Structure 1
């Protein structure tokens, strides 16, 4: 079946999550992604449990729809083979430390001498320039350095990292954006280019309103747990059977919320009639609402919230999130078969198109599984 990136070959030298997850999204869209791995293995994710059928569930979540071949890039013979592959490729993706590719004689200048149309995307912790350019950078370190941890966690509690590798995940999306943009530019210029992508840059750029508040108003965002720095009521409330997130984002929604909880007089109360006033008197407002919310279950409140068009949702466990009806309605869970290690479930790509269906043809490959197949394409 025709896919948007049919005919695009990506040589993926990357490990762990940020870059591999990006190449997986490109593979979902039809690119041929070839993981180029060291004969002894170069991806520590293969060693991170839990395991199913002897495969790391961490590794398989970032490597579907790919091939794997073995090359030792410190070997002159294998570097020659790699450069032959570069001649046939459109993209080289890697996340070695800054300058490591150059030290192996495989920097961008060397690659484009072999193939002037090659796109080289380098993902590092801190980028190709700056005082930290050659330092290793991992997701939790970047969460800390970017300021993200300073605004995450309970009020008065310790700075807290996000429960998923968010800096890696966001970077994987910029891998896709960068490579697609470079491919489009190549259509216009017939030339490749180098993409310098830093996890720290990505996470700082993702501070959104928190950064804007500081840069333009000097406002320092504080940790507020599940509350919002700018809006009230906008947080988790305990119900009779557990926690529920409620987001009352506008004055109109607050009017409907007051009707829902039978407190219509609050709409005209000088303490609560605007969002600014609600934030100023938030402690009092939340205390009142908290007592009311305990009177019903989450499902009872959700029925009323939806009737009044007020955003709200259960605070789900991972099990509940992956099995909830909306995820089932959207067909978000898939299953894929590998001839050696059997069936694996996975979360599908969230893109939905009117004119194509994303294909899930290959489970995450075994180490070196496709070496002979790839080399045969070079007529060696």
Structure 2
């Protein structure tokens, strides 16, 4: 991990993917993340496969470089320990509904009294101003409610989920950015702040930035949906032996593409050289790409178009991604070893700082076992070994 956020202490009450993704990004940058879990642990720990009951591979990939503290926040003593941590921390993040946070002693009002400089960031399913503010939400719910599943409908117009945890990860990026903004506010003013990052509102903002389209104007000048994204001809194109993605974008790209294809009349046509007309005729232009793509193999196209600096790519399977030459050159995946699980493949942080990779700066730590850091964290707070045994005996910690 890097050291950009060294000295920043973040209390992480999040679970599953959204919050853990956000806090892992911050951990990779050097923040100290104390992940507080119930005595049963984050449910994502159980997602298989995995070599340890509490350390499934999905959990591993969202929780590296963190410490784990188990606390029963339904008990008064558990809340007291949380509050002791808050006094010495910079940030708290959670993805609970407001009433749940209040029941666990983790509302903004309660914690602001303890630490007025606290940056408090939370990500409920729905924003506090709407009628569904207290409704439960997970990734699939938000994909559906935000319009993403309809946007991704198949040829039979049946709505489809994106095959990744899209809403959680997009909103996780928003949450990490909110934390960064809160930290800057605190440094400038000496005051804490409460920032809400609701899932639905974040995803709608993400999707409609381009898809509000013609209804951006009042009265409307067109329909919803960004035409270039909506055309059925925007797709990987069949070649003689597979598929390729070809994306001429600028006027230079388009004219070069049609020239190398021997279609000089297309290269000079108004609908190609004029950006406005090109936007209005994008379906026909993509259709022409599909037509000519069939004339060569994928490798022939990649060579021809790359030589002309025209954006293009072969279509990787997930297995292909692990063998991608560029990703291998950039050390995107590296093998590690841990005594609890043996060897494992790690996806590195995508960041580079001054030309250095995260795991080259300071070695990344495997995601923690459940309650792995209970003793160290509690001792640092001033609790004795006897206190810690009492907590364990009373099921405050594991």
> Under a length normalisation based on structure 1, what TM-score does the superposition of the two structures give?
0.90
Deviation at 1:159, TM superposition (A): 2.5
For the pair 1:219 / 2:222, whether they are aligned, the reply is yes
Residues 261-314 of structure 1, C-alpha deviation per residue, up to 9 Å, x if partnerless? Answer: 111122244665545555666666555543432222111100111111111111
**Which range is displaced more, 145-154 or 102-111?**
145-154
Quick one: distance in 2 between partners of 1:215 and 1:289? Answer: 30
- Counterpart position of 1:79: 79
Quick one: distance in 1 between partners of 2:298 and 2:272? Answer: 24
Quick one: distance in 2 between partners of 1:317 and 1:246? Answer: 17
- Counterpart position of 2:43: 44
- Counterpart position of 2:25: 25
Deviation at 1:200, TM superposition (A): 0.8
SS for the counterpart of 1:124 is coil
- Counterpart position of 1:366: 369
SS for the counterpart of 1:228 is helix
Deviation at 1:331, TM superposition (A): 1.5
* 2:86–2:115 contact (8 Å) kept in structure 1: yes
For the pair 1:184 / 2:184, whether they are aligned, the reply is yes
SS for the counterpart of 2:352 is coil
- Counterpart position of 2:394: none
Pick closer, same or farther for the CA change 1:222–1:187 going to 2, 3 Å: closer
Pick closer, same or farther for the CA change 1:371–1:284 going to 2, 3 Å: closer
Quick one: distance in 1 between partners of 2:185 and 2:247? Answer: 41
* 1:234–1:249 contact (8 Å) kept in structure 2: no
Pick closer, same or farther for the CA change 1:99–1:149 going to 2, 3 Å: same
Deviation at 1:11, TM superposition (A): 1.2
Superposed, 1:70-149 pairs within 5 Å as: 70-149=70-149
Pick closer, same or farther for the CA change 1:369–1:237 going to 2, 3 Å: same
Deviation at 1:337, TM superposition (A): 3.3
Quick one: distance in 2 between partners of 1:29 and 1:115? Answer: 24
* 1:178–1:195 contact (8 Å) kept in structure 2: yes
* 1:336–1:344 contact (8 Å) kept in structure 2: yes
Deviation at 1:315, TM superposition (A): 1.4
Quick one: distance in 1 between partners of 2:213 and 2:284? Answer: 28
- Counterpart position of 1:325: 325
* 1:3–1:356 contact (8 Å) kept in structure 2: no
SS for the counterpart of 1:309 is coil
- Counterpart position of 2:267: 267
Superposed, 1:165-314 pairs within 5 Å as: 165-207=165-207, 208-216=209-217, 217-221=220-224, 228-229=229-230, 235-269=235-269, 274=274, 288-314=288-314
Pick closer, same or farther for the CA change 1:182–1:270 going to 2, 3 Å: closer
For the pair 1:379 / 2:378, whether they are aligned, the reply is no
* 1:233–1:248 contact (8 Å) kept in structure 2: no
* 1:336–1:361 contact (8 Å) kept in structure 2: no
**Which range is displaced more, 266-275 or 109-118?**
266-275
Quick one: distance in 2 between partners of 1:192 and 1:151? Answer: 39
RMSD (Å) for aligned C-alpha atoms: 2.5
Quick one: distance in 2 between partners of 1:158 and 1:300? Answer: 36
SS for the counterpart of 1:188 is helix
Deviation at 1:84, TM superposition (A): 0.9
Deviation at 1:237, TM superposition (A): 0.8
Quick one: distance in 2 between partners of 1:183 and 1:378? Answer: 23
Deviation at 1:158, TM superposition (A): 1.9
Quick one: distance in 2 between partners of 1:307 and 1:315? Answer: 19
